[in-house]
């Protein structure tokens, strides 16, 4: 239960921040930015806290009216309002509790989306293409921007590998549970016998890292330039534009092979920074074993998280036992909202339970 004392602390902190931001000269630029962010983040929390506080006060007033009132009609009216409020208050308290859960520092960030065809040959590449289009449409519905960074197309369509930057507010918060192995069960168009094949693709969603998150020393990277290769374009194989960056301490290799060497270097560094940042986050999460239990997914990219079954028109998320017979809508992006929202709600419920249990 959220105590009145806890609510008072929240309101006091919010008031302090409001007054402090009115005198910016006493803070450095960095301190002022941090305080401004905290004030903005606390706004919705304080709104929920005030609503809960007002609800509790009103409930106490109604209880007093029921106990001491002489007018039977007023007592009956007070009882009706009391019972309505009694039903609402637990949900109001739960809403505030969710907002008070520790925030993932990366939740508000953009993300790097990586999709790779797994087992299944050509069919896996086609499925990887389906997943990429699904995320493109979902991103569009959220008002986000998707920019392909690297795409290795297969001969039959789809992608052997595709990397994209998904930019917008809160991308990682909604996309982070998509990391893992996605499995598809369907009859390939090339299969004359009509047999159902099972293929897979791996999805990785990495929070976009900033320069301050990861310090990449120049002596820790090796940059090689190579001739571009691939289909189409008169400039292909005429300039040494492809860039390969190797991070020597970890062995991570990132290759970019578009026409502009300058753009290739920038994009490769962005991917490298995101992968290094993700490694640091995974390391920290592994050290907090209890925190890792309070998650819907472990973040393990080898974990099979979802099955898309075409013959039955269903999608099953194995982590939370969710099955929806909305395959077409989900692949069209619109139905993915229900899946992601359910995953977020379940994650919040698990963390609330862990918090209440004292973990």
How would you write the pLDDT of the chain (359 residues) with one tens digit per residue? 788 999 999 999 999 999 999 998 888 888 998 899 889 989 999 999 999 999 999 999 999 888 876 788 888 899 999 999 999 999 999 889 988 888 888 898 999 999 999 988 889 999 999 999 999 999 999 999 999 988 888 888 889 999 999 999 999 999 999 999 999 999 987 676 678 899 999 999 999 887 767 888 888 889 888 765 544 444 334 446 788 889 988 888 888 877 677 788 888 888 998 989 888 888 877 765 554 444 555 445 568 999 999 999 999 999 999 999 999 999 999 999 999 999 999 999 888 887 776 65
d(CA 2, CA 8): 11
From 86, 92, 83, 87, select the one nearest 52 (Cα to Cα).
92
Would you state the structure tokens that stand for residue 246, as one six-digit string? 């190797």
Catalogue the E-assigned strands of the chain.
Answer: 111-117, 145-153, 159-167, 180-186, 197-207, 221-226, 242-247, 252-256, 304-309, 314-317, 322-324
CB-based contact 239:221 (threshold 8 Å): no
The pTM assigned to this predicted structure is: 0.75
From 83, 99, 105, 104, select the one nearest 7 (Cα to Cα).
99
CB atoms within 10 A of CB 168: 17
Indicate the length of the chain as a whole number. 359
Per the DSSP assignment, residues forming a β-bridge with 159 are 153
From 186, 195, 191, select the one nearest 124 (Cα to Cα).
186
Would you state the structure tokens that stand for residue 80, as one six-digit string? 């009706």
Per the DSSP assignment, residues forming a β-bridge with 304 are 181
d(CA 5, CA 53): 11
Beta-strand pair 180-186/304-309: parallel
CB-based contact 104:295 (threshold 8 Å): no
d(CA 42, CA 79): 34
For residue 71, what are the CA distances in angstroms to 59, 77, 206, 306? 18, 10, 63, 60
Would you state the structure tokens that stand for residue 105, as one six-digit string? 């520092």
């Amino acid at each position: 239960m959220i105590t009145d004392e806890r609510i008072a602390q929240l309101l006091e902190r919010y008031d302090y921040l409001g007054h402090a931001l009115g005198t910016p000269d006493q803070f450095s630029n960095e301190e002022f930015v941090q305080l401004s962010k905290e004030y903005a983040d606390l706004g919705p929390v304080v709104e929920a806290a005030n609503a809960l506080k007002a609800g509790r006060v009103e409930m106490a007033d109604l209880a007093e009216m029921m106990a001491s009132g002489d007018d039977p009609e007023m007592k009956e009216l007070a009882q009706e309002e009391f019972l309505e409020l009694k039903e609402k208050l637990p949900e109001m308290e739960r809403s505030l509790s969710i907002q008070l859960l520790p925030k993932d520092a990366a939740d508000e960030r953009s993300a790097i989306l990586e999709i790779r065809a797994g087992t299944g040959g050509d069919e896996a590449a086609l499925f990887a293409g389906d997943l990429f289009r699904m995320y493109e449409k979902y991103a569009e519905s959220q008002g986000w921007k998707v920019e392909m960074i690297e795409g290795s197309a297969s001969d039959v369509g789809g992608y052997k590998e595709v990397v994209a930057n998904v930019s917008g507010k809160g991308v990682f918060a909604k996309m982070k549970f998509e990391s893992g192995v996605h499995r598809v069960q369907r009859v390939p168009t090339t299969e004359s016998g009509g047999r159902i094949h099972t293929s897979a693709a791996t999805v990785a969603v990495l929070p976009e890292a900033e320069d301050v998150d990861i310090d990449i020393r120049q002596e820790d990277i090796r940059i090689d330039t190579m001739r571009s290769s691939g289909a189409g374009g008169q400039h292909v194989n005429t300039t040494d534009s492809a860039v390969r960056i190797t991070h020597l301490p970890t062995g991570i290799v990132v290759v970019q092979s578009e026409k502009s060497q300058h753009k290739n270097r920038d994009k490769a560094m962005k991917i490298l920074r995101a992968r290094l940042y993700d490694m640091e986050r995974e390391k920290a999460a592994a050290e907090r074993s209890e925190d890792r239990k309070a998650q819907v997914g472990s973040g393990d990219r080898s974990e099979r998280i979802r099955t898309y079954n075409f013959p039955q028109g269903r999608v099953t998320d194995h982590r939370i036992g969710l099955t929806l017979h909305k395959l077409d809508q989900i692949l069209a992006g619109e139905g993915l909202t229900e899946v992601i929202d359910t995953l977020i709600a379940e994650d919040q419920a698990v963390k609330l339970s862990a918090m209440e249990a004292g973990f």
